Chain A
């Protein structure tokens, strides 16, 4: 099998398996359903790793139905795997494999429908990462969205699940429509849907109002998925009610794919007419706000999964700020950060899920001290929490180090400060949970049944309480933690991330590879020195901040009074979330119009 032939199979394979499991799942023994789903995800992982190696010699392009370009003009549907896209596919598949292995013991009765939805979700994300044209991106965006909505509302007898799924579906759908309106405008101007072709058509002319509007509209939908402020309101609600293994995919890959979409379109389609300023402004403003809001809200949460969801808002916001650097080290560092964050956050979600299936709750007050008997889970949570705070030498720290260096070089110091804030507060919140749940120290707070009854009954997924934590649960969480810490340890791997980041920024090379079949191998990027003074200083500051935040939090003193108005904004009302979305669309439009020359 040649590399281009593998691309459509990476999408079609999970789709076919999902159809098979939907049709035959109820007659198959549970073990077969689990085995088929895990084998499917693992196969996608294996093929995508091989594809990563192949893509290092030049982007792999596959034209469906043989509609390849003629003289640099294409009307076909292309799938493109450059190192960044292939790497994202591998990330999605790895997280899905871990989530499905964890689910072997997590659900009692599933009949294959859960597995089928996860595989559909995987197919959507893989298709989005590989799509070479705007409309295919939209279609796979919708496929992953619909699968995600269904997974969020998986436990349909719980009202909170339905509420979370509803908010998620309505907000994300409106976001998708804005993107489609923007795609329509691009087609109206260029007559092309292919990213490379549209970029080439736009490059000859200066930007006008239509191009500005198109960029703002296309990016809006993808930023809604990326859950940057003010589009993040659906995020905590969806995470709070979705099954824990699904949250691994939400937090680790789906949200980040939104940022990938923004960067890809910004670089390949709109780089020539608009230049970098609008892209930088969009990412820096919305991402910076997400850093602050996510980190502050994270420390307030006593529902474990809501806490982790706001933590993801903060970390994704930081990745957006990092990408705003539009520089090799910043984007390569962000890629490493995304992978390490996905693994560490996945381990935390799986540990929360294991606690839920053991003690029937994910509410911190209810779990106070019960984790003392769970040694493995305690170690996993602690190591993951410290890794989340980007303490050297965690994978997140290596990524953050490159990001910091790049931004200091570019004069955007605020990104470094935001990074320390995000690390300290989100790591501190996770460490506080560890102190209370696994050590049983600190001040126990009363169960806030008034404000958050969802914490204890949100997901009655398992029919009976487990008497001890099964090894498949511990093992999958442990594996993710090891990946999260080890992601940056090998210099060759770090260099590959930086090279992939470098290539992601070259719109001209992407266009040449797609339209003219030219291959440009991975650039030989010099590896910046590790263990710099700046990196160590920011890492240790974050570590100290984390400990302070955790100790204060465990004693019950936080910053509740100060941020109460911020918390009230998160009303959970569908109407409010939609109103924020429209405000955000107006803000983004204004911002792009102002920054486009």
Chain B
């Protein structure tokens, strides 16, 4: 449990560091994904039970220990959200490349002050 929480915190920070220092928009979007995967690790570790099986009740006998299905549903929703945001950001990155000829976010300087 503790190990999983440390991993989650590390993923969050390292992903954020990647976004903050990125020189390439596609790289930044992937780093954002790394950052988000910290939420998957944390949520799944919260629902984990030792020696329990997946919460699919069709093929296990009643009374079998299963891991918490609620967090799995949360992660599932979270993945859908991530897909939406990633698709949108990649489309924006592509469009930036088309109109500015660069993927480096530091070369975008229209908005300041």
**B-contacting residues of A (Cβ < 8 Å)?**
135, 139, 142, 145-146, 149-150, 153, 156-160, 162-167, 169-170, 173-174, 177-178, 180-181, 184-185, 187-188, 193, 236-237, 240-241, 300-301, 451-454, 567-568, 570-576, 578-579, 581-582
B99: which A residues are within 8 A, CB to CB? 157-159, 162
Q: Looking at the complex, which one of B35, B42, B43, B110 makes contact with A163 (CB distance below 8 Å)?
A: B110
B62-99 interface code vs A (CB 8 A; 1 in, 0 out): 00000000110010011001001100110011011001
Q: Can you add 11 more A-B contacts, CB < 8 Å, to A159-B99, A166-B89, A578-B20?
A: A135-B77, A150-B88, A166-B108, A170-B28, A240-B111, A451-B113, A454-B110, A454-B111, A568-B113, A570-B112, A576-B20
Residue of B19, B46, B108, B113 ringed by the most chain A CB atoms within 10 A: B113
A188 lies within 8 A of B21 (CB): no
B39 lies within 8 A of A184 (CB): yes
Known: A184-B43, A575-B22, A578-B20. A169 touches B111 (CB 8 A): no
A-B contact pairs, 25 of them (CB 8 A): A146-B81, A146-B84, A153-B95, A163-B110, A166-B93, A169-B89, A174-B19, A174-B35, A177-B35, A178-B12, A181-B8, A181-B38, A184-B43, A188-B46, A241-B111, A451-B112, A454-B110, A570-B112, A572-B108, A574-B22, A574-B108, A575-B19, A575-B22, A575-B105, A581-B16
B111 lies within 8 A of A237 (CB): yes
Once the chains are docked, how many angstroms separate the CA of A237 from the CA of B113?
10
B12 lies within 8 A of A177 (CB): yes
How distant is B9 from chain A, measured CB to nearest CB, in Å?
A: 9
How distant is B10 from chain A, measured CB to nearest CB, in Å?
A: 13
B105: which A residues are within 8 A, CB to CB? 166, 573-575
Q: Looking at the complex, which one of B85, B96, B109 makes contact with A173 (CB distance below 8 Å)?
A: B85
Once the chains are docked, how many angstroms separate the CA of A174 from the CA of B35?
7
Q: Total number of A-B contacts with CB less than 8 angstroms?
A: 137
How distant is A187 from chain B, measured CB to nearest CB, in Å?
A: 6
A162 lies within 8 A of B38 (CB): no
Q: Looking at the complex, which one of B85, B95, B112 makes contact with A571 (CB distance below 8 Å)?
A: B112
Residue of A145, A166, A184, A572 ringed by the most chain B CB atoms within 10 A: A184
**A-contacting residues of B (Cβ < 8 Å)?**
8, 12-13, 16, 19-22, 25, 28, 32, 35-36, 38-39, 42-43, 46, 70-71, 74, 77-78, 81, 84-85, 88-89, 92-93, 95-96, 99-100, 105-106, 108-113
Once the chains are docked, how many angstroms separate the CA of A181 from the CA of B78?
11
Known: A153-B92, A170-B89. A572 touches B110 (CB 8 A): yes
Determine the residue in chain A with the shortest Cβ distance to B74.
A135
Once the chains are docked, how many angstroms separate the CA of A466 from the CA of B61?
72
Known: A166-B92, A181-B8. A582 touches B113 (CB 8 A): no
How distant is B81 from chain A, measured CB to nearest CB, in Å?
A: 5
A169 lies within 8 A of B85 (CB): yes
B42 lies within 8 A of A181 (CB): yes
Once the chains are docked, how many angstroms separate the CA of A187 from the CA of B78?
15
A166: which B residues are within 8 A, CB to CB? 25, 89, 92-93, 96, 105, 108
Once the chains are docked, how many angstroms separate the CA of A326 from the CA of B84?
37
Once the chains are docked, how many angstroms separate the CA of A169 from the CA of B81?
13
Determine the residue in chain B with the shortest Cβ distance to A158.
B99
Once the chains are docked, how many angstroms separate the CA of A567 from the CA of B19?
23
Q: Looking at the complex, which one of B16, B22, B46, B95 makes contact with A162 (CB distance below 8 Å)?
A: B95
B46 lies within 8 A of A187 (CB): yes
B19 lies within 8 A of A169 (CB): no
B88 lies within 8 A of A149 (CB): yes
